[in-house]
């Protein structure tokens, strides 16, 4: 997808360019960058809210909760399930934050 730089044909750009400029974008690159950031920010908010939910539910950070679950040796299945969900949300949030920074710096 990224190697094919000709997927935006001249006719399309001629039609879209004026619309984007009327919306305040200097060029197509700026519009694409902003839209990508908006999509990432939306996902960041989703996973941030999920992490916050678990922090409030258990009254501790993910690292503390993970240590607690490990000490309990999987005795409470709800904890195990929440640990997996919380870990996924935490790791996804970290990845999205890296992607956001890469796009902002691009």
Domain ranges, ordered by start, for the chain: 10-105
Share of the chain above pLDDT 90, in %: 61
Please give the residue that has the higher pLDDT: either 8 or 76.
76
Please give the residue that has the higher pLDDT: either 17 or 52.
52
Kindly state the average pLDDT of the residues 94-98: 98
Give the count of beta carbons closer than 10 Å to the beta carbon of residue 86: 23
User: Which residues, 6 or more positions from 89, have their beta carbon under 8 angstroms from its beta carbon?
Assistant: 47, 50, 51, 54
Distance of CA 25 to the CA centre of its chain: 23
- Please calculate the CA angle 86-91-95 and round it to the nearest 5 degrees: 145
């Amino acid at each position: 997808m990224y190697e094919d730089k000709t997927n935006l044909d001249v006719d399309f750009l001629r039609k879209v360019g004026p619309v984007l400029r009327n919306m305040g974008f200097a060029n197509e690159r700026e519009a694409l960058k902003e839209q990508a950031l908006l999509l990432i920010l939306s996902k960041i908010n989703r996973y941030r809210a999920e992490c916050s939910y678990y922090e409030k539910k258990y009254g501790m950070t993910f690292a503390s909760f993970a240590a607690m679950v490990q000490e309990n040796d999987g005795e409470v299945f709800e904890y195990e399930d929440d640990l997996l969900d919380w870990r996924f949300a935490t790791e996804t949030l970290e990845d999205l934050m890296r992607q956001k920074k890469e796009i902002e710096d691009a």
